[in-house]
Amino acid sequence: MNGSPRTTPALEVRGLEVDFVQYERGLRRRTVPALTGMGLTAAAGELVAVVGASGAGKSLLAHAVLGLLPPNAVERGAVLHDGAELDAAGRRRLAGRDTVLIPQSVTFLNPLGTVGQHVRRAARIAGHADPDAVAVEALGRRGLGREVMRQYPHELSGGMARRVLVAMATMGRPRLIIADEPTTGLPSASVLSTLRELRENANAGCAVVLVTHALEAALRVADRIVICRDGATVGTAEPTAFHGDGNGLAPYPRALWQALPRNGFRVPVGT
Partner 1 sequence: MTVVTAVAERRGWLVDRRRRTLAYLGISLAVMTGVFVAGGLAADVAQTTSLPERNLPPSPAHWFGTDWLGRDVLARVLAGLRVSLVVGTTAVLLSASIAVLLACAAGVFGGAVDRIVSWLIDLFLALPHLVLLILLAFALGGGTEAVVLAVGLTHWPTLTRVLRGRAREVIASDYVAVSRQLGRSRTWITRHHLVGHLSGHLLVGAVLVFPHAVLHEAALSFLGLGIDPAEPSIGVLLAESMRHLTAGAWWLAVLPGLCLLVVVKLVDTIGHDVRALLDPRSRQL
Partner 2 sequence: MAHHRRCHGLAVDLLTRTTPFARAAASRVLRLVLLLAAVAGASFALMVNSPIDPVDAYVGADIAAVGPEQRALIADRWGLGEPPLERFAAWSSHVARGDLGQSMTFNQPVSDVIAERFLASLALMATAWVLSGLLGFVFGVVAGVWHGRSADRLITWWAYTLASAPTFWVGLLLLYVFSVSLGWTPVCCAAPVGVLTDEVTLLDRLHHLVLPALTLSIVGVAPVVLHTRHAVVQALDSDHVTFARALGESRAGVVVHHVLRNAAAPAVLLQFASLGELFGGAVLAEQVFSYPGLGAATTAAALGQDVPLLLGIALFTTVFVYVGNQVGDIAHALLDPRVPEDRR
User: Which of partner 1, partner 2, none has residue 171 at its interface (CB below 5 to 8 Å by kind)?
Assistant: partner 2
CA 168, CA 176: separation in Å to the nearest integer?
15
User: Which of partner 2, partner 1, none has residue 75 at its interface (CB below 5 to 8 Å by kind)?
Assistant: partner 1
Q: Choose the stretch contacting partner 2; rule: CB under 8 A; options: 90-98, 190-198, 211-219, 249-257.
A: 90-98
Query: Is there binding between residue 168 and partner 2 (CB under 8 A)?
Result: yes
CB-facing half-sphere around the CA of 69: CA atoms within 13 A: 26
Q: Which of residues 17-46 bind partner 2 (CB under 8 A)?
A: none
Q: Which residues of 217-254 are buried (b: 16+ CB within 10 A; e: fewer)?
A: bbbebbbbbbbbbebbbbeebebebbeeebeebeeebb
CA 237, CA 252: separation in Å to the nearest integer?
11
Query: Is there binding between residue 220 and partner 2 (CB under 8 A)?
Result: no
Q: Which of residues 97-136 bind partner 2 (CB under 8 A)?
A: 97, 100-101, 103, 105, 107-113, 117, 121-122, 125-126
Q: Report, in Å, the least distance between residue 112 CB and partner 2.
A: 5
Q: Report, in Å, the least distance between residue 103 CB and partner 2.
A: 5
Question: Reduced to 3 states, what is the DSSP secondary structure of residue 183?
Answer: coil
**Full DSSP string of 82-151:** TTEE--HHHHHHHBTTTEEEE-SSGGGS-TTS-HHHHHHHHHHHTT-S-HHHHHHHHHHHTT--GGGGG-
Of 76 and 243, which has the nearer Cβ to partner 1?
Answer: 76
User: Which of partner 2, partner 1, none has residue 228 at its interface (CB below 5 to 8 Å by kind)?
Assistant: none
Q: Report, in Å, the least distance between residue 29 CB and partner 2.
A: 16
Interface residue with partner 2 among 6, 150, 173, 266 (CB under 8 A) is 150
Q: Cα separations (Å) of 178 from 148, 198, 255, 260? A: 25, 10, 26, 25
Q: Report, in Å, the least distance between residue 165 CB and partner 2.
A: 7
Q: Report, in Å, the least distance between residue 103 CB and partner 1.
A: 20
Query: Is there binding between residue 236 and partner 2 (CB under 8 A)?
Result: no
Q: Choose the stretch contacting partner 2; rule: CB under 8 A; options: 28-36, 46-54, 143-151, 223-231.
A: 143-151
Query: Is there binding between residue 155 and partner 2 (CB under 8 A)?
Result: yes
Pick the closest to residue 172 from 114, 122, 207, 218 (CA basis).
122
- Gap between the terminal Cα atoms of the chain: 31
User: Which of partner 1, partner 2, none has residue 220 at its interface (CB below 5 to 8 Å by kind)?
Assistant: none
Binding site for partner 1 (CB under 8 A): 20-29, 69-79, 85, 87-88
CB-count exposure of residue 37 (10 Å: 0-12, 13-18, 19+): middle
CA 20, CA 1: separation in Å to the nearest integer?
39
Rule CB under 8 A: which residues touch partner 2? 63, 66, 68, 70, 92, 95-97, 100-101, 103, 105, 107-113, 117, 121-122, 125-126, 147, 150-152, 154-155, 165, 168-169, 171-172
